[in-house]
Chains A and B, each alone.
Chain A
Amino acid sequence: MSPKTLYDKIWDAHVVHEDTDGTCLLYIDRHLVHEVTSPQAFEGLRMAGRKVRAPEKTIAVPDHNVPTTAGRENPDNMTEDSRIQVAALDKNAKEFGIHYYPVTDVRQGIVHIVGPEQGWTLPGMTVVCGDSHTATHGAFGALAHGIGTSEVEHVLATQTLIQKKSKNMKVEITGKLLPGVTAKDIVLRIIAETGTAGGTGYVIEYCGEAIRDLSMEGRMTICNMAIEGGARAGLIAPDETTFEYVKGRPHAPKGAQWEAALNWWKTLYSDDDAHFDKVLTIEGESIEPTVTWGTSPEDALPISALVPAPEDFKGGKVDAVRRSLDYMGLTPGQKLSDIEVDTVFIGSCTNGRIEDLRAAAAVLKGKKVKDGMRAMVVPGSGLVRAQAEEEGLADIFKEAGFEWRLAGCSMCLAMNPDQLAENERCASTSNRNFEGRQGYKGRTHLVSPAMAAAAAITGKLTDVREMM
């Protein structure tokens, strides 16, 4: 048998039907649903008189558009359009009999944090959701990717997707990381090297010692941003770290099934001679704490660098950089570490897990945010929030001057009232620095949680290593 990549193995295990031209019907093991990209899909089912084929494999949670302020269990405290979307999800979950975590449930949170937390996400699965950051679940060695609403409806109706296989790409991070360097810095560096279209047409497998050394949460941060590099999905082969994380979670297999699952999961790795169509290798030691300066995630540089000039680039990127610098209010040659911020956002499916909050709190302990700084922590789920309170992290944040919010997507996409005002500048642990992403004319610098905490204290983008 010819050697296979991890992606090949998961793909092969899920092909329901293959046409002569290679178009496949791929079986979907887990379908995650949220309030913003699903109403039209449920409406489509209703119009066609169709049912949800596998409600037991379908999990819904409102996250994108919910308030993160106290009192949100009362619908009167939501804006009208949020209330309509959340009410639609409530109704659809009940009517179609799918698993549901409403805002009143402590397990509610960002869909990509809830899935792994509850053990819905397991190695070797196919996982989809109407959200591009579904790539997160690839950290478990699950083939996971975002889909549009028409495909949400397709999965609801058939538990399959029409797909063609992507190519295989390998990104290897060798050796150890330097102190102060995190998973977020790794992934920003990768995107800076590949560009936001570098992964288009590929599924990326992340490997190498620096990846193996990461916790599950760090691995989720890496795979989360696979989409920002254009890839259909990111994958990391499951290992003892994965199994340890999964074991005992509410929906993880138990007893004899656990043993059977483990036996299969242990076969999920790329064979030694497996073919990759594209390979990128980065030395772990060469990665520094990294920040973005522009309006694309590929606009990332080490914190020690200077703001680049349009002339440093080629082709269409020259004009794009000119536009970015104008939008961001930056001047070529300016030190990144001189850029002043007035807002700090810690949260999102990229960096809203307990280890992210621990890393930020470790920097903030006993310190205060700079005068006038608006700083906000939005835990990724109700359970992350509860754990952070139990560990005393919430008190550290609050004493430092951070707002301590309820779980949701919040200022990562700023659909709810958590937004930047015009020309406000934010150090954000989220995943996209697009124009207008965090608010009309808002300016976003993507950073790790520790770097966000450092910026909150000093009021500018700061090398967290100076504070360690």
Chain B
Amino acid sequence: MDKFEKLTGIAAPLPLVNIDTDMIIPKQFLKTIKRSGLGVNLFDEMRYDRQGNEIEDFVLNKPQYRETEILVAGDNFGCGSSREHAPWALKDFGIKAVISTSFADIFFNNCFKNGILPIVLPQEAVDTLMKDAEKGSNARMVVDLEEQTVTTSDGESFSFEVDPFKKHCLLNGLDDIGLSLEKVSSIDSYEEKASQARPWV
């Protein structure tokens, strides 16, 4: 996994609440057996009409947001299906951080596995960042994971919380499986004990 470096990029405003993973990547794109190539279908039904033409007023179709790297979204972003195709599509598009007041649990975890940073901030902070995002490509937002801050193009900074272990993995681009396999002796001894205690499992 790529390391999460300090990010200075264009942020796009997506103020809708409850953006679900069906919206992020509709089911017809789950038929792939690969992880790559989903960016073109990110937000497909909001982004294209039935003929496949771009819908002009969808934010990511506007010229100033085509290079978006940060999304500022409404409450409960990523609810619904567990499909990891949602972060795969975001990542493939080029989005590296999503900011909201809240995220659905599975989507939140899936982001970290793919080098995407989901940032939870209070409503007032998200409101300010949403306004900043509306400035488009004239403005750059800064996400600094090391310092745990998001800074608007005007220099206003907000601190966010992040799980220390997840932060460590993201900063260093660490693979979870490799880390867990370092604890294989603990897994072995757990299995031995559990097979005594609950042999029916």
Contacts and interface: CB of A to CB of B under 8 A. Distances in A.
B45 A435 contact: yes
Contacts of B187: 16, 25, 27, 53, 158-160
B84 A148 contact: yes
B31 A320 contact: no
Nearest to A422: B50
A238 B176 CA distance: 33
B155 interface: no
Given A197-B79, A414-B27, A39 B104 contact: no
B88 to A, nearest CB: 8
Interface in A1-48: 13, 16-17, 19, 21, 23, 25, 27, 29, 36-37, 39-40, 43, 48
B63 interface: no
Contacts of A16: 183, 186-187, 190
A48 B39 CA distance: 25
A258 B198 CA distance: 10
B179 to A, nearest CB: 8
Given A232-B105, A323-B16, A261 B190 contact: no
Contact of A29 (B45, B106, B201): B201
Interface string A425-449: 0000000101111001000000000
B200 A25 contact: no
B84 A150 contact: yes
A130 interface: yes
Contact of A435 (B22, B183, B184): B22
Contacts of B184: 158
Given A16-B187, A27-B187, A197-B104, 14 more contacts: A19-B165, A36-B30, A65-B30, A65-B31, A130-B82, A150-B113, A158-B181, A162-B165, A162-B179, A197-B75, A413-B81, A422-B50, A435-B45, A440-B45
Given A154-B180, A230-B105, A319-B15, A149 B84 contact: yes
Contacts of B31: 36, 65, 81-82, 84-85, 415
B173 interface: no
Interface of B: 15-18, 20, 22-23, 26-28, 30-35, 45, 50, 74-76, 79-84, 87, 102-106, 109-110, 113-114, 163-165, 176-177, 179-181, 183-184, 186-187, 190-191, 194, 198-201
Contacts of B201: 29, 57, 122, 125
A200 B177 contact: no
Contacts of B177: 48, 50, 153-154, 157-158
Interface string A375-413: 000000000000000000000000000000000000001
- 10 closest pairs, A vs B, by CB? A253-B200, A150-B113, A81-B31, A148-B84, A39-B33, A148-B110, A316-B17, A146-B82, A197-B76, A149-B84
B108 to A, nearest CB: 9
Contacts of A160: 180, 187
Contacts of A316: 15-17, 74-75
A40 B32 CA distance: 9
A257 interface: yes
A10 B160 CA distance: 32
B198 to A, nearest CB: 7
Contact of A151 (B18, B30, B113, B191): B113
Interface in A302-333: 315-317, 319-320, 323
Nearest to A129: B82
A148 B16 contact: no
Contacts of B179: 162
A160 B183 CA distance: 10
A29 B201 CA distance: 7
Interface string A121-156: 010110000111000000000000111111101100
A48 B181 CA distance: 12
B181 A230 contact: no
A53 to B, nearest CB: 8
A257 B75 contact: no
Given A148-B106, A148-B113, A37 B186 contact: no
A415 B27 CA distance: 6
Contacts of A298: 18
A50 to B, nearest CB: 7
7 contacts: A23-B163, A122-B201, A162-B165, A162-B176, A162-B179, A230-B76, A320-B18
B200 A257 contact: yes
